[in-house]
Amino acid sequence: MKNYINTFEGFLNESKESEMTISGLVYHQWNDKQAQRKLNDVKFKIISDIKNVMTLSGEEKELDKVRSIFGIKESIVNEAEKFKATKDFEEFLEEIDGMPEVRIKRIMGNKYIDTPGGYRDEAADYDNDIVEYMISNMGRKEFEKLKAYWDTNIKESVINESAVNENIWADITKSAKPSKGPWTLVSSDNKKVLAQSTTDNIHMLPAHFESLKLKFPKSSIHIESASGEVIWKMK
C-alpha cells in the first residue's frame, strides 16, 4: 500500500477533525490511478495503515469527498469497519466500552444504542463484572437491546460473509475483463428495473454492486457491457 499522505497548508486548528476507516473492497481499490488523481485535491491525513485497514483523519467535508471518489455512501465505506468481538458477548462489551462514541455511531448507524463507557475506571466496584456494570448503568431493557444487536449483527455465523463477498467481487471483475466498458449494473425485481448504475472503471464494479445491493437487498443484479451483453448475473 502506497504511503500516501495528503498534507495541506492552513489547516485550522479549531476545525473539528473526524476519522474514517477504509478496509475491505475500498482498501484494495485505493491505489487505482484514477482514484489517486482525484485524491490529490482532497485534504486528509492517513494516520494508520495496518493489516489492510487504513484510518483517515480530516474535516468531515473532506472525508465526504473521499467517499464520493469511490462512488459509494459512507455506510458502505464503513461497512468493513466492524466490531471485532464476534465470538464472545462480554468481549464485545469490553470492546465497545473502550471505543469513542463517534466510532460506535459510525458502525451501528441508525441502530445505535447508547452505552455508558468508563468500565475500566470502575471495574473494581463491580467485581470486574462488565455485565453487571452495563446493566447497572444502562438499565436491563437497553442492555437486552444491545445483546440482541450483537446476536443479530455481530455474532459470528457459520458462513463467513466477508469471504463470500470477496469471492463475488473477484468473480465480477473476472467476468468483465474480456468485455469493454462502460459497464451498467441493473437491479431488478420480477423483471422490473429498480435502478441502474454505470461505470467505466472495471475496478469500481464491485463497489457499484454493493451500493445497489444495499439499496435493494432483495433484488437481482446483473451487469451489461457497452454492447448490451449480460456479462455477469447474481447466482
Residue 73 is part of a domain; what is its CATH number? 3.30.1370
pLDDT of residue 178: 93
> Residue type for 193, please?
V
| pLDDT over 60 at 22, yes or no | yes
First to last CA, the chain: 32
Distance CA 59, CA 17 (A): 5
Q: How many distinct helices (H) and strands (E) make up the chain?
A: 11, 7
pLDDT of residue 72: 54
| pLDDT over 90 at 83, yes or no | no
Q: Give the residue from 154, 171, 200 where a domain finishes.
A: 154
**Same domain (yes/no): 146, 165:** no
Q: What is the mean pLDDT of residues 78-93?
A: 79
pLDDT digits (tens, 9 = 90+) for 168-184: 888 999 999 999 999 99
Q: Which domain holds residue 54?
A: 17-80
